[in-house]
Structure 1
Amino acid sequence: MTSRSLEIDSAVSGTCEWLLQHDTFRKWTELNQELLWIKGKPGSGKSTLLNFAFTNQKHFLSARYSDLVISFFFHGRGGDLQRTPLGFFRSLLHQILKQIPYCLSDLVITFEKRCKEIGECVEKWQWHPKELWFSLKSSLLRILETRSVWIFVDALDECGEGSAKDLVHKFELLFKQSVALSACSNQLRICFSCRHYPILSSPGLAEICLEKENRADIHTYVHSESSSSREPISDTVLDSIIERASGVFLWAQLVVKRIQNLTINGAGPNQIIAAVDSIPEDLESLYNQLIRGMGPASVKLIQWIYFARRPLSVKELRWAMAIDVGYSSLQACQSAVDYVPDDKRMRQRILSLSQGLAEITSGSNTPIVQFIHQSVKDFFIDKGLLALPANFVSIHAAIGMSHLYLFQTCIRYLAMKEVEKLAIGTKNPDQMVTEFPFLSYATTSWVSHMKQSEDHDTPAEQFLELFSWPSNVLINLWTEVYRGIDEHSSDCPSGNTSLVHVVARYGIQGVMNAILQRLGQVTVEADLKDGSGRTPLSLAAEEGHTIIVEILLAIGQADINSKDRYCRTPLLWAVRNGHEAVVKLLLATGQDIDSKDKYGQTPL
């Protein structure tokens, strides 16, 4: 949740300092103004500036006062907790808990009680955003009784327009509630940074437009880069970069890197000037220019960076790109001409294949690969995918084919001879992941890629062929590997799981239809129980997959009153999780509404 702030480039010496003297910023810090917006074009340096403001205020206020200063940096290229309100609430509460723990005593009691009664958080239960917001709001109001609060939030737009507007609305209401505490001098102040669009703020609020203020900073940056280069860049070229950047730091950064590469390759002054003049002035056109020279390997890299469920490490990505349809063993993959033998060379290959649009972060214990900026990710989903040499006919098709490729890679990895021979019981999870770096991702992610690919119209037959269905050998291996890696995960399948169980649980409709069509009159597998006594109907009912339930009921042979090891029927699972549409379907079949589970509970 907090790694994003570590990834942000530190401000170059002599930059960002203008903010402290800016009239709007000073009024926000000194007067009773509650909300400050820092807005700017993509790549204008908003994150660096907000991080500078947060660090400066935290240092200043910690030294002189007892004010609470907390922050969150949304990260559209990161994991779920880095780009959702849930992660935002959890991070702020964690910071409060570390600094003023007594304000969250009720939350701690709730946490300890649930862990004792239900089990470990995440594995057995999850916080709901509403209850975390209530705790955050209550704790902030309590803190304001004794001290001021400063909250810095970066890249608000990267949590999605709907979520961003909802958060702004929540804090506007919180400001009104805090007015009751205005008898004292304590204030709640929030600084948001975001792009100009979507429009998230009301007119007339305190606002700093970054591209109108950062020309001097760009000047300082490009001259600093020039002075540290092997061959200094001419003033004529530097002045051209500063002028054409139009307040976009990222554009200047990419152009300076290109010039440095040209200089290393022996380009003369006239060639460099011509190269700079040929570079488009907007980021989108520049990205288009950069991807023109990409080949098939670059396409694979872009697909992995964009569509992976989470950012991959260099080692994971090295293996992901090594898996090929023609190989049945990892040893064969390592013998391929294009196999990259170590992470150091993979780092170089990532930078080369991405044309500078990807980076390896250094802000966490395990460096990960991501796009250099959110605008790169936006570019690819808007139109950039269609510009890649991959024959995508539409963005919709590109998404489906990309998830299909990732799904196929995961399944092929699991089917490799070395994985098949893996003695699960003889190794602990850490040993397994060390020996097989891509094993964890492949095991936990193939279902998600299959579902998303099918949602984008990939024919179901392609999935069945890869499993050699009706064989469940690969599913059995996957189940065993998953239980060896993380048997306590709520997503870990039970023993005796079949492909029908998987597609029922995750609502993969096309594959379910294809399976039942192939089965014809042989519908035994459609009612098979897994190791927990769960049938496909039971799993679909629990998750609320109405169409899957309809499909299974339509075959006429599903046991609607089948009980699992807890004596729970499909109806009880649907009621337990509040799936009204599924409940109605099951009641229409005449399911027993008085059936009791192991604990004496009935659907009623």
Structure 2
Amino acid sequence: MRTKLREFLADYILQASETSSVQIYVDALDEAGEMVARDLLAYFDGLTTKSGDRDRNMKICLSSRHYPLNALVLGRPVYVQRQNDEDIATYAEEKLKSQITDAEELRVLKEEVKNRASGSFLWAVLVIPVILRLHKYLELGTIRRKIGELPPDLDSLYTDILNEIQDDEERSRALRLIEWICFARRPLDMGELRYAVAVGSDASPASLQEWRMSDEYVETDSKMEQATVHLSCGLVEILQQNERRVAQFIHQSVKDYLIQGGGLQRLRGSSMIISVGSVEHRLSRTCIRYLAMEEVMNHCGSDRIGRNTGSEVRLLNYATTYWISHAETVEESGMSQGDLLGLLRWPSNSILACWITTYRKVHPWEYRSPAPNMTLLHIGAKHGFLSVIETTVDQQKSIGLDERDEDDRTPLLWAAASGHEAVVKLLLETGKVEADSKGQHGRTPLSWAAASGHEAVVKLLLETGQVEVDSEDEDDQTPLLGAAASGLP
């Protein structure tokens, strides 16, 4: 499908260029990642090759940070950083004169910024607030010396900026804030961040009312905006996105530095490498702790769910939608998630039942919505949380290993349909599940695995000797037909 779409787009562009001028702009190519960037370059190179004489009607402009792409020699390169000096000087003068009234001081500092920036506009943007702070209590000569000591590369500059956070409690809050902005599945608004940062702290109030009385809680969105910029030392900005005020990094290079350049590790003040899995673990547990709060549980049947009510449930939409996504990344990292049993109060299903009700209200038309009456074992099987299933078996809490949800599916059916081989193997090894149980529409685990193209799972089920190979579902489809349709050998 992807190849056909590429061919269709290429044919359409080439055909259009025969009679019209075609201009293609691709911004921030570096943010796609090296493999995708190289792939796109090869694609556009192919377009220009195919165009022949028509390339006079076709113009392709790509923008990127410095990038190790040899293929970028195509066409005529323009190095913006070599043309930035006067723009940087103009920008510096406009920002500095808001506080510096002496004409000579303004001229000298403007030139210092222009010369030290070496064409990097972002470097100038980051350094000017530092200069304005220094100007409040230092003489011109000292300020010039301090500017000269600032590192020329962005990563070192980011390190220096974050090193300004000296207080341990403030550093902890800054870390929680920045982790959310780094790894949230979508930009968070101020109301969501207020609760995400507070609930993610080491304190453990049982209710949102207790949180609102704690030092971790920020009372208003406007104060959260100020706190966000302050705690990030200006590396995060607040933007208007439709009706929401959301937080994002001032530049992609900030996120790259934090995740790939060891910035999060330095901010935590630890010599140990901070893994993505450990951060995702904290975020997923923050979501779960929030969903388990008394006020949120009481709100799960409300018709207002999904709306921005301005109340304590501002994080409800995000926590409901994405805690599973964060937990999936945790599982992929190899971290155990046996703690989910305690957090979700297994074998009680109260928290999950409330979550399912909320999810189906927030996303009424989504086919992947969790089915009513799903238990933690169904969720674990569906999403490949092997450590959850292992913990229930190890603790001899394997209650409901063969229980059915409202769609008449058992954990084994979910695991087989999703292709989670290790989960299927473990469930079968317990001897407490029916390998050939029929669910909705008469489909068995073998039917689901075959139709979904999960060869390893099909082999596991066949090896039990307990499955009916020619079993027909309500549509008269057999596992063999499903396997053929999915392309299994």
TM superposition score normalised by structure 1 = 0.73
The one-letter code of the counterpart of 1:384 is G
Q: Hey, what does 1:58 align to over in structure 2?
A: none
The answer on 1:592 being equivalent to 2:468 is yes
1:319 Cα deviation from its structure 2 partner: 1.5
Q: Hey, what does 2:69 align to over in structure 1?
A: 199
Q: Hey, what does 1:133 align to over in structure 2?
A: 6
The answer on 1:501 being equivalent to 2:387 is no
Q: Hey, what does 1:222 align to over in structure 2?
A: 92
Q: Hey, what does 1:258 align to over in structure 2?
A: 130
Aligned pair partner of 1:282 in 153, 158, 166: 153
Q: Hey, what does 2:48 align to over in structure 1?
A: 175
Q: Hey, what does 2:268 align to over in structure 1?
A: 389
The answer on 1:538 being equivalent to 2:408 is no
State the alpha-carbon separation in 2 of the partners of residues 479 and 499 from structure 1: 11
Q: Hey, what does 1:378 align to over in structure 2?
A: 256
SS in 2 for 1:207: coil
Q: Hey, what does 1:349 align to over in structure 2?
A: 227
Greater relative contact order (Cα < 8 A, sep 6+): 1
Aligned pair partner of 1:484 in 361, 369, 377: 361
State the alpha-carbon separation in 2 of the partners of residues 376 and 431 from structure 1: 30
State the alpha-carbon separation in 2 of the partners of residues 505 and 185 from structure 1: 50
Q: Hey, what does 1:466 align to over in structure 2?
A: 343
State the alpha-carbon separation in 1 of the partners of residues 242 and 327 from structure 2: 29
Determine if contact 1:299/1:390 at 8 Å carries over to the other structure: no
Determine if contact 2:82/2:119 at 8 Å carries over to the other structure: yes
Q: Hey, what does 1:305 align to over in structure 2?
A: 181
State the alpha-carbon separation in 2 of the partners of residues 355 and 431 from structure 1: 29
Q: Which runs of 5+ in 2 are unaligned?
A: 166-170, 482-489
Q: Within 5 A, what are the aligned runs for 1:75-94?
A: none
1:104-141 superposed Cα distances (whole Å, 9 cap, x missing partner): xxxxxxxxxxxxxxxxxxxxxxxx64454344233323
Q: Hey, what does 1:158 align to over in structure 2?
A: 31
1:280-339 superposed Cα distances (whole Å, 9 cap, x missing partner): 221111111111133111111111111212221121111211225421211111111232
State the alpha-carbon separation in 1 of the partners of residues 193 and 447 from structure 2: 43
Q: Hey, what does 1:120 align to over in structure 2?
A: none
Q: Within 5 A, what are the aligned runs for 1:100-119?
A: none
Relative to structure 1, the CA distance from residue 524 to residue 240 in structure 2 (aligned partners, 3 Å threshold; closer, same or farther) is: same
Q: Hey, what does 2:106 align to over in structure 1?
A: 234
1:227 Cα deviation from its structure 2 partner: 3.8
1:567 Cα deviation from its structure 2 partner: 1.6
Q: Hey, what does 1:369 align to over in structure 2?
A: 247
State the alpha-carbon separation in 1 of the partners of residues 271 and 389 from structure 2: 27
State the alpha-carbon separation in 2 of the partners of residues 267 and 486 from structure 1: 56
SS in 2 for 1:394: coil
Relative to structure 1, the CA distance from residue 437 to residue 230 in structure 2 (aligned partners, 3 Å threshold; closer, same or farther) is: farther
SS in 2 for 1:421: helix
Determine if contact 1:145/1:186 at 8 Å carries over to the other structure: no
State the alpha-carbon separation in 2 of the partners of residues 137 and 585 from structure 1: 44
Determine if contact 2:300/2:354 at 8 Å carries over to the other structure: no
State the alpha-carbon separation in 2 of the partners of residues 129 and 512 from structure 1: 36
State the alpha-carbon separation in 1 of the partners of residues 284 and 12 from structure 2: 44
The one-letter code of the counterpart of 2:15 is R
State the alpha-carbon separation in 2 of the partners of residues 364 and 132 from structure 1: 31
The one-letter code of the counterpart of 1:250 is L
State the alpha-carbon separation in 1 of the partners of residues 153 and 358 from structure 2: 48
TM superposition score normalised by structure 2 = 0.89
Q: Which runs of 5+ in 1 are unaligned?
A: 1-127
The one-letter code of the counterpart of 1:495 is P
State the alpha-carbon separation in 1 of the partners of residues 469 and 10 from structure 2: 42
Q: Hey, what does 1:439 align to over in structure 2?
A: 316
Q: Hey, what does 1:57 align to over in structure 2?
A: none
State the alpha-carbon separation in 1 of the partners of residues 385 and 269 from structure 2: 26
State the alpha-carbon separation in 2 of the partners of residues 275 and 288 from structure 1: 16
The one-letter code of the counterpart of 1:507 is G
1:390 Cα deviation from its structure 2 partner: 5.2
State the alpha-carbon separation in 2 of the partners of residues 532 and 390 from structure 1: 49
SS in 2 for 1:191: strand
Determine if contact 1:537/1:570 at 8 Å carries over to the other structure: yes
Q: Hey, what does 1:424 align to over in structure 2?
A: 301
Relative to structure 1, the CA distance from residue 132 to residue 436 in structure 2 (aligned partners, 3 Å threshold; closer, same or farther) is: farther
The answer on 1:335 being equivalent to 2:213 is yes
